[in-house]
Amino acid sequence: MTPEQRQHRVLAVANAAASLADPSSPKGQELRRQLIEHGPLSPEGVHLALRHHIAPCPNEMQLRQLLKVAGQAPYVHVVLSGNVFVAGVQAMAVAVAAAPKVTVRLSRRDSVFTRYLLEIAMEESALDGVVLRDSVAIDTVREAFEQGQMSQVHLYGRDATMVAIARNLCDQGRAHQMLVRAHGAGIGVGVVGARESIQSAAVDAVADIIAFDQRGCLSLRIVFVQGDYRRAVAFGKALFDALQHASQTVPLGTLYDDERIERQRYLSTCCIAGELFYGQNVAVSVADKRVWLPPVGRNVHVVACHAGELHELLRPLQPYVSALGIAGAERDAPVDDVVGEAKQLLPDARVSCLGFMQRPVLDGFVDKRQTPLLRPDQVISRYSERAEGNPQSRP
Amino acid sequence: MVHRDLFDLQRSNRLHQRVQRFILAHGGDSFGERHDRRVVDEPADTFDSLAIELARFQYDCETGVQRLYAHRGLHPDQLQDATQIPAVPTDAFKLHRVACHPAQLDEVVFLTSGTTIGTRGQHALRTTSTYRISARSWGKMMLFPDTNRLHWILLAPPYRSDPSSSLGFMLDDFANYAKCAKCAECTTKCSEYTDVEPTWAVASDSIDVPRIARSLKQAQKSGCSVIVAGASFAFAYLLRELADANNPFVGVDVRVMITGGFKGKTREIEPAVWRVNLCEALHVSPNRIVTEYGMTELSSQAYDGALSDGLDVASPNPVLQPPPWMRICPVDPVTLSPVPPGQEGIARIVDLANVDSAVAIQTADRVRLVPGGFELLGRSPGATPRGCSIGIDEILSRELPAVPVLPRISGKKGES
């Protein structure tokens, strides 16, 4: 494909996304109706996602960056995960930029948004070469194998899903013809520097939490607050109040049973360990130099820390952090500041100001963590340790 | 944060005595430990009254449990039986020191496995006397009801090299208590074997099979009954080693104590298959394999009845039996209310031997009560991550291997 052809294909996807974001468009209306019917987001959560979290059309620089990241291949096979349906925009834009022929396997939950997205792109911008598959079977890519050309598979989802699909590719005996770009699960973390306003940071952070009820890999789950425990508690209280307030406008959607179970476990654990602000659907826990990962929904863990301590606290989470939100203006913080420390520790995370963590631009993959093209067997070895853990017992 | 002035040492001591008295009154053994006369002579409490006393003591000394009471809208004065005591989640031990006494008074601190999230749960004990009496009493009943002369092969590094291991502590205590040299009755008979020490069979991060073989030979000469004890994954490594080596277990009468499961997903081994593999590799019958259920956050353990039911029973009893001073109650994972009899729930455990920490513990283990005890059904999974979010269990399951770390066993046998 020529650069112009590739650009045209990306813009076809971007324009289709803009059309879906428009609540007055017929497709936009139909999409909203279906997403609300399927859940788990509340109606207000669906409107919020479509209004504010679809990536806008890329500018020239973003477009160049996207084409560079996408690379080129004869075929790309995309396996999407569910729930954060708007991520389909980035995934499809990269795929169509990379290859003239694209096969998309939709997750059951995700099928509505991406289906509409591609239908509009095909109808209105003559996007071609894209085939949709509903099948949950992995062998939907087989036809491409027959061509004997090196294809790419773009995988989005949990680490265990990456491993299962890569194993399936190996089992098909076609592993040598495939290269895989695997985007595993992730979390978003926030950092509030010593000079930032606690109140403003709390209000800004709300947008990163309520979008998609924290089920996205960019969703804010943990906030590190520079300073003493008392400052972290003040931030936690402010965040709780702001979340309670926002939840009146955008209520929490439906939690699955296992998510409710995990919430109970989280509340019982964190109320012993430190300060816990909680309501029916919102909870903010605060701990002094102790990291915990709260469940999805409207739950945030706040950690008090000082400059120099973040390395120890954040290091274990490093592989999972895909988004870093910074309170106040994004700036070149000194490295002895927790903000500077966080940026240094998370060079691959998507960095933004708090409030914009879940609004990635269309400049490539949503998840900027290093995702090299790997052979399926390399995907298995890279992700199986993370997915399966080590056998464990009482020490 | 525990304030020194909030910790009432005398009250704690009295409660330890009452718990020990309860254990002695319910089939426990003092094992030669000297006791205050009141421990032996005074009547024992009921389970519920003692549990509530412990709960009130723990409430009064700022362990953080007060916030749990407040969260449930409860006060200790309202407690009428042990089921009402708010249970401290095992996860809380990873985030917070759950102890009545100040750290300066710790006799030992047991740690849970290291986790990739950077936290290890800690269970601090001010005194190990109640722990020892509890563990030995039930261990004697369930593991070695027939003898006090055992030759111990322990699939763990020496306890002294990792004193934070609760399993290591317990096995070390058992091995020192129930070995030939310690048996007063047979001192003469066994005099030539008095130097038989337990064999800690993990060295340099690997299972030392030649050492085990030497130990088994020594045991055969002594006539002592052999017990091999350790964590499941240590046995998994042993079995892999035995596949290649000349099997030293052939012709040796051994019993096995195995604890813990496999948290890994694809490495999860079906319990029945696992038991068959063990029986074949160690040349033992199923009724010689005892499963222990314990955890760092507890001071008491449950065992299945394989040995306690008689050493010649044909089929082992898979039901786990807690001691009379520990109760298991399956609760609903969302409401934390007890589930109807026979239904599955997550295990809420009241352990009277947890005097200075948390008398009621909430685990994520799925259990069901059955006549004679409870069945362990696995671990309640964390929320299934949807979209591309990640859950705490996904991160915690990537726990660093507990001691022993055994990854360096020759790769030629293939990675599981």
The answer to whether B384 contacts A316, with C-beta atoms less than 8 Å apart, is no
* Residue B345: count of CB within 10 angstroms of its CB: 23
Kindly indicate the confidence band of residue A382, based on its pLDDT and cuts at 50, 70 and 90: confident
Report the side by side order of strands in the sheet with A178-183: A130-133, A101-105, A75-79, A151-156, A178-183
d(CA B295, CA B90) in angstroms, rounded, equals: 9
Is B266 a residue whose pLDDT tops 70? no
Token couple for B79: 């407690």
**Chain A residues with beta carbon closer than 8 angstroms to that of B112:** 394-395
Q: Which of residues 2-61 of B touch A (CB under 8 A)?
A: none
The residue of chain A nearest to residue B397, with distances taken between CA atoms, is A389
Is B365 a residue whose pLDDT tops 60? yes
pLDDT of residue B407: 35
Which residue among B64, B113, B383 sits closest to A395, beta carbon to beta carbon? B113
Across the range B205-228, mean pLDDT stands at 85
* Closest approach of B150 to chain A, Cα-based (Å): 23
Strands A350-353 and A220-226: what pairing?
Answer: unpaired
d(CA B145, CA A364) in angstroms, rounded, equals: 67
**Chain A residues with beta carbon closer than 8 angstroms to that of B89:** 265, 268-269, 272
* Residue B228: count of CB within 10 angstroms of its CB: 29
Mention every residue, 6+ apart, whose C-beta is less than 8 A from residue B21. B38, B39, B40, B42, B44, B45
Check residues A273 and B245 and name the one with the higher pLDDT. A273
pLDDT per residue as tens digits for the range B131-154: 999 999 999 999 988 887 888 999
Across the range B77-92, mean pLDDT stands at 94
The answer to whether A393 contacts B233, with C-beta atoms less than 8 Å apart, is yes
**Chain B residues with beta carbon closer than 8 angstroms to that of A315:** 118
The residue type found at B173 is D
Least confident of A26-40, A88-102, A164-178, A302-316: A164-178
Across the range B386-401, mean pLDDT stands at 54
Least confident of A178-187, A382-391, B324-333, B399-408: B399-408
- How many contiguous H segments (helices) and E segments (strands) does chain B have? 11, 16
Partner A contacted by B337 (CB < 8 A): no
pLDDT of residue B187: 46
**Which backbone phi and psi does A100 adopt, to 5 degrees?**
-75, -20
The answer to whether B401 contacts A256, with C-beta atoms less than 8 Å apart, is no
Mention every residue, 6+ apart, whose C-beta is less than 8 A from residue A352. A323, A324, A325, A326, A330, A359, A360
pLDDT of residue A161: 79
Across the range A345-351, mean pLDDT stands at 91
The residue of chain A nearest to residue B112, with distances taken between CA atoms, is A395
Please tell me which of A180-184, B2-6, B328-332 the model is most confident about, judged by mean pLDDT.
Answer: B328-332
The answer to whether B91 contacts A214, with C-beta atoms less than 8 Å apart, is no
* Whether A383 contacts B222, CB under 8 Å: no
The residue type found at B28 is G
The answer to whether B388 contacts A313, with C-beta atoms less than 8 Å apart, is no
**Chain B residues with beta carbon closer than 8 angstroms to that of A184:** 388
Strands B202-203 and B206-207: what pairing?
Answer: antiparallel
Is B294 a residue whose pLDDT tops 80? yes
Which residue among A312, A315, A395 sits closest to B167, beta carbon to beta carbon? A395
Check residues B194 and B52 and name the one with the higher pLDDT. B52
Task: Say how many CA atoms lie within 13 Å of B342 toward its Cβ.
Answer: 0
Is B219 a residue whose pLDDT tops 90? no
pLDDT per residue as tens digits for the range A105-161: 876 666 789 999 999 999 998 899 998 876 544 444 455 555 556 788 898 887 777
Across the range A372-377, mean pLDDT stands at 86
The answer to whether A388 contacts B166, with C-beta atoms less than 8 Å apart, is no
List Cα–Cα distances, A52 to A179, A275, A357, B126, in angstroms: 34, 32, 12, 56
Is B41 a residue whose pLDDT tops 70? no
Please tell me which of A135-149, A207-221, B190-204 the model is most confident about, judged by mean pLDDT.
Answer: A207-221
**Is the ipTM beyond the 0.85 threshold?**
no
pLDDT of residue A147: 56
* Closest approach of A315 to chain B, Cα-based (Å): 8
Please tell me which of B75-79, B274-278, B387-391 the model is most confident about, judged by mean pLDDT.
Answer: B75-79
* Closest approach of A1 to chain B, Cα-based (Å): 31
- How many contiguous H segments (helices) and E segments (strands) does chain A have? 14, 12
Q: Which of residues 106-135 of B touch A (CB under 8 A)?
A: 110-113, 115-119
Across the range B215-219, mean pLDDT stands at 86
Residue identified by tokens 């002592």 is B224
Nearest to B8 by CA among B75, B125, B100: B100
d(CA B354, CA B164) in angstroms, rounded, equals: 17
Region class of A297: left (phi > 0), else alpha (psi between -120 and 50), else beta: left
